[in-house]
A = this chain, B = another copy of it.
Amino acid sequence: MRIGFIGLGNMGSAMAANLVTAGHEVTAYNRSPGRVAELAERGAAPASTVAAACGGDVVITMLADDAAVEGVTFGTDGEPGIVDSLPSGAIHVSSSTISVDLAERIGAAHAKAGQRFVSAPVFGRPEAAAAAALFVVAAGAEDAVRDLAPVFDAVGQRTFEVSPDPKVANLVKLSGNFLIASVIESLGEAMALVGKAGVDKQTYLDLLTSTLFAAPAYKTYGGLIARDEFEPAGFAAHLGLKDVRLVLEAGEELEVALPIASLLRDRFLTLLAGGGRDLDWSACGALAAWEAGGPRPGQG
């Protein structure tokens, strides 16, 4: 297929390279052009504007946040965006982690312009992206998702179709971050408890992750909490707060009370109020120990 790819960060570069490898005709655009050159060496065509990446059957966006996706989709500073540039019937695939609300607005704009829109955020770290082993969460009109099968197969190991409504894929992605934050909080409470009883936190974590909780989320975040290692941030606390807020807003829209998400919101605000804005979000897991008499995270 002829595919435009916009956003060549760690994740995007790897995904785009895998599309080239799979034989697709890829045209790549990035705000800072260095990454485009790298990809061009692997066989992609370089694009110097968003519009230039919108000439094919599909354009994929893989960008940092709502603002970036909004700018690229609707145009910015007088430059035309995807909605202005994509052929009728072509598909915009958004793989960025964006808000449910923005996904909804983008879908509406494409529908009005006679284009198709699929939300397809991914689960997996850069290494999984490089190995074409991502998990793709796809939502959109059935025909569009079906047409995208070769694309998803080139970047991921499995595709989960969750809804005909694109924004639902974003909700699913956000809910994953909510579940990670829940792990951080519950581990933080358990470690505050056994830690105050004199148990070594790393030994405790080894025990947990040898048995019932042998999962990446427990190993990664539990390790950071056990070692009080919150800098540099892999994912900053203020971004964690943002994702929890988006989950709560989705819950409000759907009329679903989410008591743990409410607790997490309060935790993140407490973390920020203590100067922890740029700490890793796992620093939330140190608040229970702080309340129990330990040092404030980021001030120890």
Mark A residues whose CB is within 8 Å of B: 123-124, 135, 137, 158, 160-163, 165, 168, 171-172, 175-176, 178-180, 182-183, 185-187, 189-190, 192-194, 196-200, 203-204, 206-208, 210-218, 241, 245, 247-248, 250-252, 254-263, 265-267, 269-270, 272-274, 288, 291-293
B193, B214, B269, B272: the one within 8 Å of A171 (CB): B193
Contact at A200–B288, with CB atoms within 8 Å? no
From DSSP, what is the main secondary structure of chain A's interface residues? helix
> Which of A172, A187, A245 has the most B CB atoms < 10 Å from its CB?
A172
29 example contacts (A-B, Cβ-Cβ < 8 A) are as follows A135-B210, A162-B199, A162-B207, A163-B198, A171-B193, A171-B197, A171-B199, A179-B213, A182-B182, A183-B186, A189-B256, A189-B258, A189-B259, A189-B260, A189-B261, A196-B254, A196-B256, A197-B250, A197-B254, A214-B215, A252-B265, A255-B273, A255-B293, A259-B266, A259-B288, A262-B266, A273-B291, A273-B292, A273-B293
Chain B neighbourhood of A259, CB < 8 A: 185, 189, 263, 266, 288
Chain B neighbourhood of A124, CB < 8 A: 211
Enumerate the 4 nearest inter-chain pairs by beta-carbon distance, A residue then B residue, closest first: A215-B215, A182-B186, A257-B266, A262-B262
Contact at A193–B162, with CB atoms within 8 Å? no
Chain B neighbourhood of A160, CB < 8 A: 203-204, 206-207
Chain B neighbourhood of A192, CB < 8 A: 256, 258
Contact at A168–B251, with CB atoms within 8 Å? no
* Copies of this chain in the oligomer: 4
Contact at B267–A257, with CB atoms within 8 Å? yes
Contact at B212–A190, with CB atoms within 8 Å? no
Chain B neighbourhood of A176, CB < 8 A: 208, 211-212
User: What is the bound-complex CA distance between A245 and B245, given in angstroms?
Assistant: 12
B187, B245, B263: the one within 8 Å of A179 (CB): B187
Question: What 5 additional pairs, Cβ within 8 angstroms, besides A176-B208, A189-B256?
Answer: A171-B194, A178-B186, A182-B182, A189-B260, A262-B265
Residue of B nearest to A100 (CB): B197
User: What is the bound-complex CA distance between A172 and B194, given in angstroms?
Assistant: 6
Smallest CB separation, A1 vs chain B (Å): 25
> Which of A257, A274, A292 has the most B CB atoms < 10 Å from its CB?
A257
Contact at B257–A270, with CB atoms within 8 Å? yes
Smallest CB separation, A156 vs chain B (Å): 11
Smallest CB separation, A151 vs chain B (Å): 18
Q: Indicate whether A193 sits within 8 Å of B258 (C-beta atoms), given known contacts A180-B212, A198-B165, A273-B293.
A: yes
B179, B200, B216, B266: the one within 8 Å of A190 (CB): B179
Contact at B200–A291, with CB atoms within 8 Å? no
Residue of B nearest to A207 (CB): B160
